[in-house]
Structure 1
């Protein structure tokens, strides 16, 4: 990593309040170049607290953009961080309307030349796409990273029409804890307590809404630009990583947006900005690449970025199973169009007699993290145990085979029950027998005719079902085998259906694996500069000044632990998402975060599935004698007809409990 100094421009930064039409003030930080000429503005807009939680990341890029001639602006959405107002649902109409107002406000500032760009990762990338679809006139360009255009099927909620147990639960629980944090008195003054209490009274667990919409209905269509890609008028640079769940959005954007205003990059990365150097690498000079985009579309400079291939994609080499990869060897390829003329669909017919697929309910414990972020236990381990719980079909590779795009399966299935799931995994099997997960996909059988409806299976009927797996760039070497593993369960990624322990019968005759095979090439001239950033924020990790820590942190614990109770037939997965420990900021703020997620299931009973997340967050300013704590608990269980959710928030200031609320809700299982 290269720390860039000096920049072409000297810079300054200020914290400001951006007024909205209803009088609400949004908290913003503006980095600007020291110049007498107005410059374009670029905006990152999200709820994750610019004065603390994202401050280290913000410090790597916003000053860098300012030093290269842009006003770089970071804004917290209403009801979060130090912004006024009350929190609402994720990506609500109000949040997007506020974002349009912010774009217009920036364009009207005397230091801005009237042209605005937006960028962001995850939530910030989602908002950039959605605000671009509302087409505010000043917004000319967008860089969206690890973001989705489809909130129903390519976010943290559903996959193939099935409830994403792990991340719907985990992220709803995370946001319950995050939205309950107080504003900072250093930035909002003595009114922090009143702001906090008003926010807490407005809190509603996201899981209530998310589980309340189990098919692709109007709620999800509102939040998904996939419904109308043509609405996006800004130029879009879409960036993703094969180890991030949102990378298929890049493939859809380069397919559906006009080629004169879109480019895509998919690398080997996890859910991170590609310059941060977190596993898996290699990292790239992402900031320099985005500067080419901004200069082209906000300053009218011909940087050559629009002469790059429509899609630059990384094809990773085969590797032994590993839960973390510092660097994934491979090569970059360029595609002039998408679908690519270099990619041909090759069908592999399944062989053998009909097979009963009746996977134990804990199949999936070796799935890895749904959204890897570079931690040591994020990626899937060796898949041999998972393969043994599945029906497997293998195909030899006589020569090196490059796969680029979304594999697809067509399977003839007979089910004796009305509900269930089919899970398909594509694995790379080495000569020593080790099995490396390449990609996977899911189909809720009730969604086989479309994700906007629920059609129960006629018991005893045989039907062909077809679905895509997640996109991938991977090279199968000669001598390895391509393995398709099919299971009827995948916990805790997928919430099991009632009766799914019966499984289904798969008929190989007439069933196919379809691979998008990419033509091999000797070499590629695609290259990126080395990563470059501005100097890091001086945040230290350690212990709080008074030695405080949650009781759960008294002893180190594994990042990902699988526990089997042999007598009970119960499996428990415990996950420490590694969100923080204690961090001390240069302005004296201390933040301690601790979280533990637990997923439990009986290997024979789909109705035994249950999840729990426990969070503790402390925000402490010793110099102000300010000490606040947020504790949350979130649980989901089920029976045959309903999900049962239980959530609790307890907030303290000093030794005083200032807020305590529990929610108990029963939500009908209409599709999930």
Structure 2
């Protein structure tokens, strides 16, 4: 089916604001259902390379596909003050009503998105707009506090500053004069002056309060009444919500979890990628066109179970197989328990009792890889032996039979701390016959949040507590001849910010155990996917391949470790690009430097240096930023500076310098 594209259209809001959109339509004039993607990342040039083959595919299969920039982003009017605000949802309700009333729409609308668009698809569904009939939510969460880029286990993710810094550049990009005309400069300068200091906004809320509860659909799953297809990925960071959505939603729902990073599954890395667009069309045909495509006959959960893989930082393919669980929670998944032993073993029978203590070096975590995989080189966890030297390690005997896990493992500990604020990091690993160690899952927990993320409480030094650490969901097959390892530490740098004092944890092994969600191999049914399909690609030229580098170094005089990642030209390895049909060139570089001394958590220092350039001949803009953070016993200190330039001349500067009190963190 041939399609036609409208490069830019305006969607009017009731308050006079206009939102910019890009539209793909079937060539004929028939009324068709619409698929909406509603995000802040610039449909003109930010996500153009990804949008074209996806939305073009939908249009080629009989849908109106529409990509809308949120208020205050791209060429859309207004101001974006923060993420997931009520205003964002209110605008979406108007957008959906506007779409349903258009002459090319038959009144049925589906909403889909990845990450931000996956979040707001669920959030808008909870508002129940009449024309919204189904949702596809990829790499999102039902809980904005526990499973987003700001906090993990009640601890501050260092990606909070990374993502906040990227948002400074993203939301400082100018409006395109080819779309808005001569008003672009005044609107750009106004946008720069209103730009919030994103990382500080999020750092001010260190517990699960009303700020995070807003937009967390787990507060009341029954608010969502439309069917939901949830997508997750093991190398991504937004997978834990998928089983919760399957369990919590009462509406028709299905889920797919693959081996990929934070990339739509038809482009998924590490592979195998799948025919996700075909699956999406099956979903839309069923719920928007009323055709029985068989999509609701699929298992509740289709998941990729990984085979054992070597602990290499770069991986383009993950060996394994697709399995299906007819319902979730699955009666085919039981629990296999291992008792922790004072002999550092994991035992299925009686284990030697005793108490073991650990105070990890503050640089523990260097082999952890990225919190969120995006398909870049070097982002996966490397050999865990590098970190196991700073942890308590417990191993099973060599496995006589394979063990397949699917779901969330739980480590149940009886522990005490010598400090009122402490953290624990837990890793589940595959010890291979050659001695190398592959991380399978992990989790961190702020022990002041042991009972509640909403009402944390300090520890009483020396008092024993029962603590359950629920690890990230995973699908993995431990082969016969390997060992299963659990590692316990008191830091996980550079992924999370350290506690204010170096704490020693003491584990009572007699009442501590590991529970694995073990899957019965009862025959997996016919779980398979078509190969990836794409619509026509946008004309694109890579002007420079750029580079991505990752390294760590240790100063044996000062006792400090520095961890560095640097993307030059393209933040995620894409290099410097030109979108040929609009003549726009993009270059995005960012360097992260995280330094800490092994014996001093207050030595932690984080600096990010960033540059974003875009434009075309005669119109060149650049945004440079520097952000930094450190802390003492009571406060975080976070600062930032931004410089915006047009054709080499500085047109605006911004500076932020904030002190934010630590709240049990």
Q: TM-score normalized by structure 1? A: 0.95
Partner residue in 1 for 2:307 = 317
Secondary structure of the residue aligned to 1:275 is helix
The corresponding residue for 1:590 is: 585
Secondary structure of the 1:85 match is: coil
Question: Of 455, 464, 477, which residue of structure 1 is paired with 2:479?
Answer: 477
Q: Residue in 2 aligned with 1:548?
A: none
Q: CA RMSD in A?
A: 1.3
8 Å contact 2:419–2:459 — kept in the other structure? yes
Structure 1 distance, partners of 2:175, 2:575, is: 20
The aligned counterpart of 1:422 is 424
Inter-partner Cα distance in structure 2 for 1:533 and 1:270: 19
Matched, 1:169 2:164: no
Report the CA distance between 1:235 and its aligned residue: 0.9
Q: From 307, 318, 326, give the equivalent of 2:316.
A: 326
Aligned with 1:604 (options 599, 604, 611): 599
Q: 2:639 aligns with which of 620, 628, 646?
A: 646
Q: Deviations over 1:221-267 (max 9, x none)?
A: 00211111111111100011011110111111111112x51000001
Hey, what's the Cα distance between the residues in 2 that align with 1:391 and 1:589?
Answer: 53
- Report how far residue 181 of structure 1 moved: 1.1
Say whether residues 1:156 and 2:149 are aligned partners: yes
| Aligned residue in 1 for 2:345 | none
How many residue pairs are counted as aligned between the two chains?
Answer: 648
Taking the aligned partners of 2:183 and 2:524, their CA distance within structure 1 comes to 61
Distance in 2 between the 1:468 and 1:53 partners? 36
In structure 1, the partner of 2:561 is 571
List per-residue Cα deviations over 1:259-296 (Å, max 9, x = no partner): x510000011111000014x211010000001000000
Secondary structure, counterpart of 1:13 in structure 2: strand
Report Cα offsets for 1:582-620 as digits up to 9, x if no partner.
Answer: 211112111111111111111111011111111111112
| SS state at 1:81 partner | coil
Alignment pair present for 1:493 and 2:483: no
The CA deviation at 1:445 is 0.7
2:384 equivalent in structure 1: 383
Q: Which residue of 2 aligns with 1:86?
A: 79
Residue matched to 2:346: none
Residue 193 of structure 2 aligns to a residue whose secondary structure is: helix
The alignment partner of 2:271 has SS state of coil
User: Residues 99-248 of structure 1: matches in 2 within 5 Å?
Assistant: 99-165=92-158, 167-248=159-240
CA distance in 1, matches of 2:648, 2:323: 59
Q: Give the conservation status (yes or no) of the 8 Å contact 2:629–2:638.
A: yes
- What displacement does 1:557 show? 6.5
Q: In the alignment, does 2:248 pair up with 1:253?
A: no
Residue of structure 2 equivalent to 1:57: 50
TM-superposed CA distance for 1:522, in Å, is: 4.5
For residues 531 and 399 of structure 1, the distance between their equivalents in structure 2, rounded to whole angstroms, comes to 35
Contact 1:612-1:636 within 8 A present in 2 as well = yes
Q: For the residues of structure 2 that align with 1:55 and 1:449, how far apart are their CA atoms?
A: 44
- For each residue in 1:151-197, what CA deviation from the matched residue of structure 2 results, as whole angstroms up to 9, or x when unmatched? 101000111111112x1111011101111111111111111001101
Asked whether the equivalents of residues 11 and 67 of structure 1 are also in contact (C-alpha less than 8 Å), the reply is no
Matches within 5 A, 1:340-379: 340-352=330-342, 353-379=354-380
Unaligned runs of 5+ in 1: 1-6, 544-552
Q: Tell me which stretches of 4 or more aligned residues in structure 1 moved more than 6 Å.
A: none
Give distance in 2, aligned partners of 1:450 and 1:530.
44
C-alpha deviation, 1:334, in angstroms: 1.2
Question: In structure 1, what is the equivalent of residue 267 of structure 2?
Answer: 276
| Structure 2 residue runs without a partner (length 5+) | 343-353
- Partners of 2:333 and 2:540 lie apart in 1 by 46
1:97-117, Cα deviation, whole Å (9 max, x unpaired): 111111111011111111100
Give the whole-Å Cα distance in 1 for the aligned partners of 2:121 and 2:134.
9
Question: 2 CA distance for matches of 1:171 and 1:660?
Answer: 20
CA distance in 2, matches of 1:558, 1:255: 39
**1:364-396 per-position Cα deviation (integer Å, ceiling 9, x unaligned):** 111101111111101011100111111001113
Per-residue CA deviations over 1:551-597 (Å, capped at 9, x if unaligned) read xx9xx765211011111011111112451442111121111111111
Choose 556-565 or 400-409, whichever is displaced more: 556-565
Q: 1:12 to 1:168 in 2, by over 3 A?
A: closer
The C-alpha deviation readout for 1:28-57, integer Å capped at 9, x for no partner, is 011111223211111000010111110000
The residue aligned with 1:517 is: 518
Q: Matched residues in 2 for 1:136 and 1:645: separation?
A: 40
Q: State the partner residue of 1:546.
A: none
Q: Does 1:67 align with 2:60?
A: yes
**Separation (CA, whole Å) in 2 of partners of 1:171 and 1:12:** 32
The alignment's TM-score, normalised by the length of structure 2, stands at 0.96
Partner residue of 1:3? Answer: none
* Contact 1:361 1:603 (8 Å CA) reproduced: yes
How far apart are residue 398 of structure 1 and its match?
2.1
Alignment of 1:654-669 (within 5 A): 654-669=647-662
How many angstroms does 1:523 deviate by?
4.9
- The equivalent of 2:350 in structure 1 is none
The whole-number CA distance in structure 2 between the counterparts of 1:284 and 1:557 is 27
Tell me, in whole angstroms, the C-alpha distance in 1 between the residues paired with 2:611 and 2:522: 52
Deviation at 1:13, TM superposition (A): 3.2
Structure 1 residue 537 corresponds to structure 2 residue 538:
yes
Pairing 1:636–2:623 present = no
Paired with 2:84 and 2:530, the residues of 1 have a C-alpha distance of 34
Cα deviations by residue, 1:473-523 (Å, 9 ceiling, x for unpaired):
000001111000000000111111111x23211121100101000001455
Give the SS at the match of 2:267: coil
| Deviation, structure 1 residue 204 | 1.1
The secondary structure found in structure 2 opposite 1:134 is: coil
> Of 241, 255, 260, which residue of structure 2 is paired with 1:264?
255
| Contact 1:12–1:34 (CA under 8 A) maintained in structure 2 | no
Deviates more, 1:202-211 or 1:439-448: 202-211
1:218 shift after superposition: 0.3
